[in-house]
Amino acid sequence: MRRDFCDGVGIARLLNATLVLPKFEVASYWNETSGFADVYDVDYFIQHMNGFVKVVKELPPEIASKEPVRVDCSKRKGQFDYVESVLPSLLKHKYISITPAMSQRRDRYPLYAKAALCQACYKALRLTRSLEMKASQLLDAIPKPFLSLHLRFEPDMVAYSQCEYPDLSPASMKAIEAAQVDRKPWTGELARVWRLRGKCPLTPNETALILQSLSIPPTTNIYLAAGDGLMEIEGLTDTYTNIVTKSSILSREDFTSMHGNTKAALDYYVSINSDSYIATYFGNMDKMVAAMRAFNGLYKTLFLSRRGFAQLTSQGLRGKKLMQALWKLHRDDFANGRGSALSECFCEFKL
């Protein structure tokens, strides 16, 4: 959401349009009801976007009763140009709703649109005061120093990946089958090729093995940034025992009253302020966390290689040989530099 919203700001500036605060359209699959104002400080955002993009909280009465003309840019192939493809609809209908196109390269934005996008992502988006206070209390309660580990192995995540995991517990298999709907896992040779391409999430047990290969001590303080319903967690906690989570630190009342978006915001806040950050999946949150950490001068950030792990294990490597190979695989990636999201917001210079 944060990434798409940053894109939306850049597009609004590109089209010289007024931006209406967005609605989070995730209720269909996350049973989510929170809105923009539940997560972000609206007035702070509007104030800090002044001079870049005009932002309004609500539509004027003469437009509010109308449904926006929807322009779906997300599935376009090749390079997508908003001025050519979207501006005519905006000029004709005056009020449109868009889904940002991932094929639009931000590095081709004119400087004024880049400036608006970067201002939104790195300066203007701030959590609400109450949520930031809760996040700060959570951060203070975590034993220091600590590593934030973003582990993705929830039933819906595994079901979406379409990967085979024959060694999981019956309970985990049942949860995955319930989440699959019509996305059945690949089998046979297709399953092998899919895994070798790095499409399969690392299990907690595989994650623990990689952490050990990187000489991360079992006594390391780890904050587990993860969603609800994480499976097979014993594969990690049997080796790494100093693990804390949101639910183990926050009061039960606090935790149960929070929406999924606000829980994710806590993980984001803790992760951008952790001593080190490791992600098992190269997802949108990981890209945004890496970029913000780099922006703040925190470079101990690492993405574990699913493809590398699959290729090494498919070669029959086990035990000490596998551990050494995993160490070499990740050694040069430990410092990610500028991060992997919105790198065009970073100045490039040589001393």
What is the C-alpha end-to-end distance of the chain, expressed in Å? 36
Query: 276-286 burial, b if ≥16 CB within 10 A, otherwise e?
Result: bbbbbbbeebb
The verdict on 80 and 147 lying in the same domain is: no
Structure confidence at residue 284 as a pLDDT band (50, 70, 90): confident
Q: Which residues pair with 40 in a beta bridge?
A: 127
The verdict on 51 and 139 lying in the same domain is: no
The verdict on 247 and 148 lying in the same domain is: yes
In a domain, 350, yes or no: no
Lowest mean pLDDT among 45-49, 139-143, 286-290: 286-290
Mean pLDDT value across the chain: 88
Per-residue confidence (pLDDT) for residue 261, from 0 to 100:
85
Q: Indicate the number of domains in the chain.
A: 2
Per-residue confidence (pLDDT) for residue 2, from 0 to 100:
83
Per-residue confidence (pLDDT) for residue 339, from 0 to 100:
47
pLDDT digits (tens, 9 = 90+) for 35-83: 889 899 999 999 999 999 999 998 888 888 888 898 877 765 566 788 8
338 pLDDT exceeds 50?
Answer: no
Per-residue confidence (pLDDT) for residue 337, from 0 to 100:
44
The verdict on 91 and 209 lying in the same domain is: no
The verdict on 115 and 20 lying in the same domain is: yes
What's the average model confidence in pLDDT over 161-184?
Answer: 93
Per-residue confidence (pLDDT) for residue 139, from 0 to 100:
97
107 pLDDT exceeds 70?
Answer: no
In a domain, 279, yes or no: yes
The whole domain housing 11 covers: 1-126
The verdict on 11 and 37 lying in the same domain is: yes
The verdict on 140 and 271 lying in the same domain is: yes
What's the average model confidence in pLDDT over 245-256?
Answer: 86
The verdict on 10 and 100 lying in the same domain is: yes
Tokens of residue 245, six digits: 């989570």
In a domain, 342, yes or no: no
In a domain, 20, yes or no: yes
Residue from 145, 192, 128, 141 nearest 166 by CA? 192
Cβ-proximal residues to 210 (8 Å cutoff; 6+ apart), any chain: 202, 304, 309, 326, 330
Structure confidence at residue 299 as a pLDDT band (50, 70, 90): confident
The verdict on 23 and 107 lying in the same domain is: yes
Per-residue confidence (pLDDT) for residue 100, from 0 to 100:
66
Per-residue confidence (pLDDT) for residue 102, from 0 to 100:
55
In a domain, 186, yes or no: no
The verdict on 31 and 146 lying in the same domain is: no
CA–CA dist 63, 54 (Å, integer): 17
What's the average model confidence in pLDDT over 259-268?
Answer: 89
Q: Which of 88, 108, 126 is the last residue of a domain?
A: 126
Distances in Å between the Cα of 293 and the Cα atoms of 187, 290, 326, 327 are 39, 5, 24, 23
Helix (H, G, I), strand (E, B) or coil at 322: helix
In a domain, 92, yes or no: yes
Q: Which of 126, 144, 179 is the last residue of a domain?
A: 126
Q: What is the DSSP letter of 333?
A: T
pLDDT digits (tens, 9 = 90+) for 207-229: 999 999 999 999 999 999 998 78
CB atoms within 10 A of CB 298: 18
What's the average model confidence in pLDDT over 72-99?
Answer: 82
Is 102 within 8 Å of 8 (Cβ atoms)?
no
Residue from 321, 34, 329, 15 nearest 198 by CA? 329
Q: At what angle do helices 188-196 and 306-314 cross, to 10 degrees?
A: 130
In a domain, 27, yes or no: yes
Backbone angles phi, psi at 98, to 5 degrees: -125, 155
CA–CA dist 243, 233 (Å, integer): 11
Structure confidence at residue 104 as a pLDDT band (50, 70, 90): low
What's the average model confidence in pLDDT over 292-297?
Answer: 86
What's the average model confidence in pLDDT over 277-290?
Answer: 90
Continuous H helices in 220-335: 234-237, 246-249, 252-256, 260-272, 284-295, 306-314, 319-331
Counting beta carbons within 10 angstroms of the beta carbon of residue 149, is it exposed (0 to 12), middle (13 to 18) or buried (19 or more)?
buried
pLDDT over 90, % of the chain: 59
The verdict on 104 and 29 lying in the same domain is: yes
- Considering the entire predicted model, what is its pTM? 0.89
pLDDT digits (tens, 9 = 90+) for 300-324: 899 999 999 999 999 999 999 999 9
Helix (H, G, I), strand (E, B) or coil at 119: helix
In a domain, 309, yes or no: yes
CA–CA dist 314, 318 (Å, integer): 10
- Identify the residue whose tokens are 């501006």: 87
The verdict on 79 and 146 lying in the same domain is: no
What's the average model confidence in pLDDT over 324-329?
Answer: 94
Structure confidence at residue 335 as a pLDDT band (50, 70, 90): very low
Residue 266's domain is classified under what CATH number? 3.40.50
pLDDT digits (tens, 9 = 90+) for 241-250: 999 999 999 8
